[in-house]
């Protein structure tokens, strides 16, 4: 007569009826494998068990990679939809004042940023006049400001799209919201032959929204459309 404990009849019948439930349960399978290793003794090396552990570890890594790829694809699709919606809204206004108002309003909401500022280089006289007329959405600055801001006075060639964290956001760009800004996207604008450059600045209170590690292709596309819209308004 065997001294080994037996399973209860109901549990045994359930396992026999649905053995897949045991195979699909990772914790139960680990417990069974561990019990089998203890039964074999300390002097026996279970190569099959070692191989299974390694395969399971690889499977876990593959599943993590799979989830990361799906998350990245979803984020990219979401970003594409945002940019497309912002571009469509960009094309709606019939006058420049509405265009600027939409920038700091609906377009900022669509892109989920906390502040948008259009920066144009010009003479100080033009700057005073434009700022008085168009207010918060526009900053008119002196020649050379855009490149200096993009390179932060370190020299080099400014990129079309610059993404970076911000420790001390300038009030000249962000006004009363300067203390809230933690990252920014700076889009350099080519406004056409014979015109000084401009810049569109997107500021976010989230430090991780714009970083140097992020892709810039969508924002580069948005910049190209915005440049063409600005050339239309300046013509």
Kindly report, residue by residue over 33-45, the tens digit of the pLDDT. Answer: 777 666 666 665 5
pLDDT at 83 over 50: yes
**Contact by Cβ (8 Å): 124, 102:** no
Query: Which helix H or strand E contains 135, and what residues bound it?
Result: none
pLDDT at residue 1 in the model = 44
Phi then psi dihedrals of residue 184, to 5 deg: -150, 155
205 near 112, Cβ under 8 Å? no
Nearest-10 crossing angle of helices 26-40, 47-90: 160
165-174, long-range: CB within 8 Å, 24+ apart, which pairs? 165/207, 165/210, 165/211, 166/203, 169/203, 172/139, 172/141, 173/117, 173/119, 173/139, 173/149, 173/201, 173/203, 174/115, 174/117, 174/203
- The pLDDT, as a whole number, for residue 190 is 93
Phi and psi (nearest 5°) for 203?
Answer: -110, 140
Q: 186: helix, coil or strand? A: strand
24-28, 49-53, 131-135, 178-182: lowest mean pLDDT where? Answer: 131-135
- Owner of token pair 């004042």: 97
| Domains of the chain, CATH where assigned | 93-234 (3.30.450.40)
Strand 198-204, strand 183-189: pairing: antiparallel
């Amino acid at each position: 007569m065997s001294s080994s404990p037996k399973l209860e009849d109901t549990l045994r019948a359930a396992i026999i009826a649905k053995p897949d439930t045991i195979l699909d349960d990772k914790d139960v399978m680990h417990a069974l494998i561990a019990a089998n290793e203890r039964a074999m003794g300390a002097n026996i090396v279970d190569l099959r068990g070692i191989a299974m552990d390694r395969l399971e570890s690889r499977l876990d890594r593959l599943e993590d990679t799979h989830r990361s790829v799906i998350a990245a694809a979803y984020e990219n699709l979401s970003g594409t939809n945002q940019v497309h919606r912002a571009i469509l809204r960009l094309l709606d206004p019939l006058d420049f004042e509405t265009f600027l108002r939409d920038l700091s309003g609906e377009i900022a909401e669509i892109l989920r940023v906390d502040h948008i500022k259009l920066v144009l280089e010009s003479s100080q006289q033009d700057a005073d006049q434009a700022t008085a007329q168009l207010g918060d959405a526009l900053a008119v600055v002196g020649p050379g400001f855009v490149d200096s801001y993009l390179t932060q006075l370190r020299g080099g060639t400014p990129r079309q799209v610059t993404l970076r964290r911000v420790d001390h956001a300038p009030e000249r760009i962000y006004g009363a919201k300067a203390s809230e800004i933690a990252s920014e996207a700076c889009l350099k604008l080519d406004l056409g032959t014979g015109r000084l450059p401009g810049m569109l600045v997107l500021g976010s209170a989230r430090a991780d929204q714009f970083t140097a590690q992020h892709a810039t292709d969508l924002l580069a596309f948005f910049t190209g459309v915005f440049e063409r819209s600005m050339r239309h308004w300046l013509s």
